[in-house]
């Protein structure tokens, strides 16, 4: 809108100037008063364009970019008024008017008004000098002695023509006359010790301690870049109502000027997602049950369940909502559970953990160990560098081996992992892996899932980095939901364990999701599932049973 007004002003000036030139060349066709008025309009229009241009250069270019300051509205007003006064003086000179009378009248008027408005003008002039000297800026923490010796400390919110607005440590905003600030000694406080508050409201039915603890963890567990974690982050219940309770989250920003427009909204967003996952936030319409049923029915070990059993599976599961770039850890994910991506995308780090003693490398997730491709996925110069590094340990055969292996892998990370097994010396193998780049990530899209053995056997998730790529919804399938579904269809744990054993053999054998040898060799998957799921069946048959 502002750019449109500037363009309109320039176009209007051009039109007036063109009209003035045309009329000036044909003076006999118009009255002198019209020519005189058109001349004044052209001068005023040109003055407005010049004032806007000079103001932009002074405020947006010189003060904001060069001096790294945040000009207040008062400073912008002062600059504009000063420039307009200069333009008025120049216009009067061009029109041949006597400027002495103008300034004499102005001085007399100023003296009369100044006597009548001594205190307001004092505040105004003090504000002008504060803007010229700039002892403090918007967002700075200051301290000075106010009326009756009371020490005022807070953050500068704005500097107006009459007063400076300061947000006190209590959260209240007080308006201090500029004249009072100019007379007192002002102390600057390190901006790292200035805190901000973020308000949010939750139903009064939710226990306050639970809300405060959850909101704090949402900020501390994965802090935003502008939050100073050297200072405490805490939540306080601020006001209480019969239906809702207002809370304030206190935090210390590293850069106070960026907090209001960037950090505060990000914190509110993070708190919303966290409280929604714990059923404390507002009602949210998650993905419709029909779509959830379709996704669940595509999972092979739930495919043979009846529609009613699949509905029970969905009904007793829990929907988890995550913001983009949220790090998923054990505090965010239910356990035990299996996690199905319903909406969005999850990136899981495919880190290989080498067993240096047995010379094997196992992927964390279901990453294929063979990547059949018709051509090299890597550039020849990169393959040559890897081969040269490997040749130091196994000799010239490294070159043919590296080129052959490069046909079967999809990234440099996997090439290093595959070739490291050829080095017999453990120390040399570890030295070779020092050149390995960061682990790639596999994107889990709608319908993909992870944590199968966590759901059926109670085995913990492998240690891996899981992060949401975008706004993501995940369905957490719990053992209680599985017990309800199996009980409805009359399927025994032993029957289901056969599906799980076959699935484990086909997909998870040889990976870090492979269950421990204790389960495979001693109890077996069937007995482990029986031990893990039996308590949920007992609770289903007898709701009074708690263990």
Q: For 183-223, write each residue's pLDDT tens digit.
A: 676 776 665 567 788 999 888 888 888 889 888 988 888 88
Residue 86's pLDDT band, with cuts at 50, 70 and 90, is: confident
Residue 513 has pLDDT above 70, yes or no: no
- Using DSSP, state whether 536 is helix, strand or coil: helix
This prediction's pTM: 0.55
Q: Where are the alpha helices (DSSP H) in 159-249?
A: 178-183, 208-220
Mean local confidence (pLDDT), 309-320: 91
Q: What does each C-alpha distance from 457 to 451, 467, 478, 483, 504 come to in angstroms?
A: 10, 24, 12, 13, 11
Residue 260 has pLDDT above 60, yes or no: yes
State residue 27's pLDDT score: 65
**Choice between 330 and 280, residue whose per-residue pLDDT is larger:** 280
Residue 278 has pLDDT above 70, yes or no: yes
**How many other CB atoms are there within 10 angstroms of residue 69's CB atom?**
16
Question: Which of 130-134, 248-252, 524-528 is predicted least confidently?
Answer: 130-134
Cα–Cα distance measured from residue 198 to residue 175, given in angstroms and rounded to the nearest whole number: 22
320 close to 276: Cβ distance less than 8 angstroms: no
Edge-first strand listing for the sheet containing 173-177: 173-177, 163-168, 151-159, 141-145, 187-189
State residue 147's pLDDT score: 65
Cα–Cα distance measured from residue 101 to residue 85, given in angstroms and rounded to the nearest whole number: 15
Q: For 358-388, write each residue's pLDDT tens digit.
A: 444 444 444 333 333 334 467 888 888 899 9
Average model confidence (pLDDT) for the chain?
A: 76
Edge-first strand listing for the sheet containing 449-450: 318-322, 472-477, 338-343, 449-450
**Choice between 121 and 91, residue whose per-residue pLDDT is larger:** 91
**How many other CB atoms are there within 10 angstroms of residue 226's CB atom?**
18
State residue 478's pLDDT score: 92
Residue 303's pLDDT band, with cuts at 50, 70 and 90, is: confident
Cα–Cα distance measured from residue 116 to residue 188, given in angstroms and rounded to the nearest whole number: 35
Cα–Cα distance measured from residue 105 to residue 91, given in angstroms and rounded to the nearest whole number: 17
């Amino acid at each position: 809108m502002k750019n449109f007004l500037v363009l309109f002003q320039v176009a209007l000036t051009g039109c007036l100037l063109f009209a003035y030139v045309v009329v000036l060349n044909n003076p006999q066709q118009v009255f002198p008063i019209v020519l005189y008025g058109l001349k004044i309009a052209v001068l005023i229009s040109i003055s407005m364009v010049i004032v806007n241009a000079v103001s932009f250069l002074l405020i947006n270019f010189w003060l904001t970019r060069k001096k790294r300051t945040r000009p207040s509205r008062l400073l912008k007003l002062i600059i504009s008024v000063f420039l307009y006064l200069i333009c008025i003086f120049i216009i009067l000179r061009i029109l041949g008017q006597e400027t002495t009378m103008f300034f004499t009248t102005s001085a007399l008027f100023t003296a009369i008004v100044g006597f009548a408005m001594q205190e307001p003008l004092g505040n105004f002039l003090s504000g002008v000098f504060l803007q010229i000297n700039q002892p403090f800026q918007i967002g700075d923490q200051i301290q000075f002695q106010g009326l009756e010796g009371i020490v005022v400390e807070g953050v500068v919110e704005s500097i107006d023509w009459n007063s400076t607005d300061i947000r006190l440590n209590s959260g209240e905003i007080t308006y201090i006359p500029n004249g009072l600030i100019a007379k007192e000694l002002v102390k600057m406080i390190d901006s790292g010790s200035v805190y901000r508050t973020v308000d949010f409201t939750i139903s009064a039915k939710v226990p306050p301690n639970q809300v405060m603890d959850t909101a704090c963890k949402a900020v501390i567990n994965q802090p935003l870049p502008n939050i100073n974690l050297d200072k405490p982050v805490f939540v306080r219940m601020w006001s209480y109502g019969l239906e809702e309770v207002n809370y304030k989250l206190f935090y210390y920003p590293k850069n106070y000027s960026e907090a209001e427009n960037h950090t505060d909204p990000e914190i509110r967003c993070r708190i919303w997602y966290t409280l929604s996952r714990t059923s404390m936030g507002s009602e949210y319409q998650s993905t419709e049950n029909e779509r959830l049923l379709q996704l669940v029915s595509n999972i092979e070990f739930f495919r043979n369940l009846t529609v009613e059993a699949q509905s029970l599976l969905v009904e007793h599961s829990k929907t988890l909502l995550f913001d983009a770039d949220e790090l998923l850890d054990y505090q965010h994910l239910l356990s035990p559970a299996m996690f199905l991506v319903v909406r969005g995308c999850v990136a899981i780090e495919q880190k290989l953990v080498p067993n240096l003693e047995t010379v094997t490398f196992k992927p964390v997730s279901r990453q294929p160990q063979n990547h059949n491709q018709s051509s090299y996925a890597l550039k020849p110069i990169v393959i040559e560098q890897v081969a040269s590094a490997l040749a130091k340990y196994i000799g010239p055969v490294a070159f043919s081996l590296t080129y052959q292996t490069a046909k079967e892998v999809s990234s440099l990370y996997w090439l290093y992992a595959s070739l490291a097994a050829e080095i017999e010396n453990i120390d040399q193998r570890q030295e070779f892996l020092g050149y390995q780049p960061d682990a790639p990530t596999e994107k889990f899209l709608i319908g993909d899932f992870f944590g199968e053995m966590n759901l059926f056997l109670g085995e913990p998730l492998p240690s891996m980095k899981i992060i949401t790529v975008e706004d993501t919804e995940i369905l957490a399938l719990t053992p209680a939901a599985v017990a309800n579904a199996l009980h409805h269809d009359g399927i025994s744990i032993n029957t289901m364990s056969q599906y799980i054993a076959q699935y484990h053999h086909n997909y998870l054998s040889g990976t870090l999701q492979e269950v421990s040898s204790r389960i495979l060799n001693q109890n077996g998957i069937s007995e482990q599932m029986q031990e893990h799921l039996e308590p949920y069946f007992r609770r289903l048959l007898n709701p009074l049973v708690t263990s």
